Amino acid sequence: MSDESERLTMWCAGEDWCPITATATLVGKKWHPVIVHRLLVSGPLGFNALKEEVDGISSKVLSDSLEDLGEKRLVNREIVSDKPVRVEYSLTSIGESLEPVILSMRDWGSEYLAPADDPDSAMV
């Protein structure tokens, strides 16, 4: 269990399902769980390396997603060299704590989802 200083501030109505909806808000955007997963598996990555790991994401969407994940204290952005400027992204301790959630999502999807024969019939 994390200590109080590490907890994220999320608005909640105080209902028993509130932690579920608050967590879904953090990881529920299309690319967020994929980015977290890639950083869990690969460790710290530069922007271009992370873009290669997240197949199909545009630079703009990756940049926006990393900014959002940074604001939510799930991802660190560190400048590792000035000339040329090189930035590396890694998970914070809070981001790393999502590992069982992300792996459970992966495992559930592996068990219950199958690729659609027709791309137009896909769930998402």
pTM of model > 0.85: no
Angle at 20 between CA 16 and CA 25, to 5 degrees: 135
pLDDT band of 47, cuts 50, 70, 90: very high
Within 8 A by CB and 6+ apart from 43, the residues are 90
pLDDT band of 121, cuts 50, 70, 90: low
Structural tokens at position 81: 């060299």
Domains of the chain: 19-106 (1.10.10.10)
Give the pairing of strands 75-81 and 86-91: antiparallel
Mean pLDDT of 72-76: 96
Predicted confidence (pLDDT) per residue in 27-37, tens digit: 889 999 999 99
Return d(Cα 109, Cα 38) in angstroms, integer: 16
Return d(Cα 111, Cα 101) in angstroms, integer: 15
pLDDT at 101: 94
pLDDT at 14: 66
pLDDT at 64: 97
pLDDT at 74: 96
